[in-house]
Amino acid sequence: MVTMLLLQHNVEHTHALLERCSNIKELKQIHGQILKKGTNSHQIIVSKLLASYASIELGNLAYARMVFDRISSPNTVTWNTMIRAYSNSNEPEVALLFYHQMLHHSVPHNSYTFPFLLKACSALSAFEETQQIHAHIIKRGYGSEVYATNSLLHVYASSGCIVSANVLFDRLPMKDVVSWNTMIDGYIKFGNIDKASQMFQAMPVKNVISWTTMIVGFVRSDMHKEALSLLQQMLVAGIKPDSITLSCSLSACASLGALEQGKWIHTYIDKKRIRMDSVLGCVLIDMYVKCGEMEKAIQVFSKLEKKCVCAWTAIIGGFAIHGKGREALDWFFEMQKARIKPTPITFTAILTACSHAGLTGEGKSLFESMSTVYKINPSMEHYGCMVDLLGRAGLLNEAKEFIESMPLKPNAAIWGSLLSACYLHKHLELGREIGRLLIELDPDHDGRYIHLASIHAAAGEWNQAVQVRSQIKHRGLPKLPGCSSITINGVVHEFFAGTRSKPHIQEIHDMPNFIGNINAVYFGSELRGE
């Protein structure tokens, strides 16, 4: 009796130690005590020890495998523990091998076995194995188990097998909010935003993930007005947006130049005391930058607890697009003092700043430092920045030599940058040469013909200009109309060149200072508590 009580005490004490264990060194010490006290045969202790070794926090799969291999008759929980550990590791294929062994030893399954396996299949994009596990789910009676079927649905949807996902979804006896969200996300990734929107509207119950997934989908599809409209509907429905929702909405504001909505979201963040993490901070800075509010952007930057490279890059990029090259350089050097290593995107921003401000020498030096100092291989975008830098400075022959010496094959955008510089500096002979080359490289882009026609026109070669322009019509190339937008009372209105279909268009033409009374929105009233 005393021995049993002592053993029970040891088990409870060891279990408590394992619960509190915070690093691999402590875990190995506890493991030693388990072996010393002889509790290594106790199933609860062994399972907990195995789970600790296999956990993401402590993760040591080599020790976990060693513990597992020494268990005489591992049960379902221990098999699941190993499958889960490998599905979360860099070796997800091992999870499938463990499942094969589990079947060989006739170990019973439970509802947690399949989600771990399916996660491994997702990581491996293993469609055939997914179908096999699908068959096992049905065969073993888990076809109605929501957790298993949702995991299966996720694999099909996330791996692009949207047809299979849709068939499975239609056959599900129970569809919870996770099922609907998975399908919406799958259609967005598949590129069918209309179908995703239809499913979203048909959902019986929506949570914050539902709304956020759809807003993210609109932003990724460049449907920024729709994203902001959905945010408004979300608030009306009483669903509180999270930081991801607000980040995407701010991104939509930045793309539209919708400063008022962006300011409202900033005020909402402050009022609701939503934590300004690095992602939200960077997107907010980017919104103010693109809306021309550099002072606001700097204020947000100064209040960030952790100033990551994205935040620095957003400020540098802001000065770049506003033509303030010296200020951008100052911030770049301050970033270096703060021991923040620049990324390729940072170099795109600073090279753009040098280009717009005519800082040719500084730009050349920074481009050189990418590979020599920061060990960053320049991308096509960086080469494009350098061509633009040299072209704006009038160094056209040097720009042409630079392009011809590129290790990457120059694309139409690179040559197009040089062509624009030829037109700017009236280097018409080189412009004609580059223009003809561009049409060969990109014959379906109407802008290439317009650029070459402009070169001919500048040289007084009117017949050639007309001939080049006529090729646009002859080839049936579409002309994209110009588009502008304006925000009135919190609503973004877009106008396309050559059309008069917009509601209130006559009032806008008749009243230059028209501010309108269009669709009072929820944004202002929510902050006032109405």
**Is the pLDDT higher at 181 or at 40?**
181
Q: Which residues contact 253 (CB under 8 A, 6 or more apart)?
A: 224, 228, 259, 261, 262, 265, 287, 291
pLDDT of 525 over the 50 cut: no
Tokens coding 325? 């090259």
pLDDT given for residue 233 in this prediction: 95
Q: Is the pLDDT of residue 521 over 50?
A: no
The CA-CA-CA angle for residues 72, 73, 76, to 5°, reads 145
What percentage of the chain has pLDDT greater than the value 90? 44
Q: Give the residue, 493 or 339, on which the prediction is more confident.
A: 339
Residue 43 has pLDDT above 70, yes or no: no
23: Cα separation from own chain's centroid: 32
Contact assessment for residue 521 and residue 491, using Cβ atoms and an 8 Å cutoff: yes
Confidence (pLDDT) at 178:
94
DSSP state of 330: H
Q: Which tokens hold the place of 17? A: 């130690």
pLDDT in tens, 345-376: 999 999 999 999 999 999 999 999 999 999 99
Is the pLDDT assigned to residue 287 strictly greater than 90?
yes
Q: With bands split at pLDDT 50, 70 and 90, how would you rate the model's confidence at 513? A: very low
How far apart are alpha carbons 301 and 467 in whole angstroms? 53
**Neighbouring C-beta atoms of residue 56, cutoff 10 Å:** 9
As a whole number, the mean pLDDT across the chain is 82
Q: How confident is the model at residue 33 (pLDDT cuts 50, 70, 90)?
A: low
Residues 6+ apart with CB under 8 A from 239: 206, 207, 208, 211
Burial of 84 (0-12, 13-18, 19+ CB in 10 A): buried
pTM (2 decimals)? 0.76
The sign one gets for the Cα dihedral 329, 335, 339, 343 is negative
- The whole-number average pLDDT for the span 202-213 is 96
9-23, 106-120, 298-312, 495-509, range with the lowest pLDDT: 495-509
Residue 84's pLDDT band, with cuts at 50, 70 and 90, is confident
491-496/483-488 β-pairing: antiparallel
Q: What confidence score (pLDDT) does residue 491 get?
A: 56
316-343 per-position pLDDT tens digit: 999 999 989 999 999 999 999 999 999 9
Question: Hey, which bits of 101-224 come out as E strands?
Answer: none
Helix (H, G, I), strand (E, B) or coil at 26: helix
Range name among 43-47, 120-124, 382-386 with the lowest pLDDT average: 43-47
Query: What pLDDT score does 245 carry?
Result: 96
Q: What does the pLDDT average to over 143-169?
A: 87
Confidence of residue 424 (pLDDT cuts 50, 70, 90): confident
Residue 494 in tokens: 């877009």
- Which is more confidently placed, 89 or 218? 218
Convert 233-271 to b/e letters by CB count within 10 Å (16 or more is b).
Answer: ebbeeebebebbbbbbbbbbbbbbbbbbbbbbbbebbee
Q: Note the pLDDT tens digit of each residue in 90-122.
A: 888 988 998 899 988 888 888 788 888 998 888
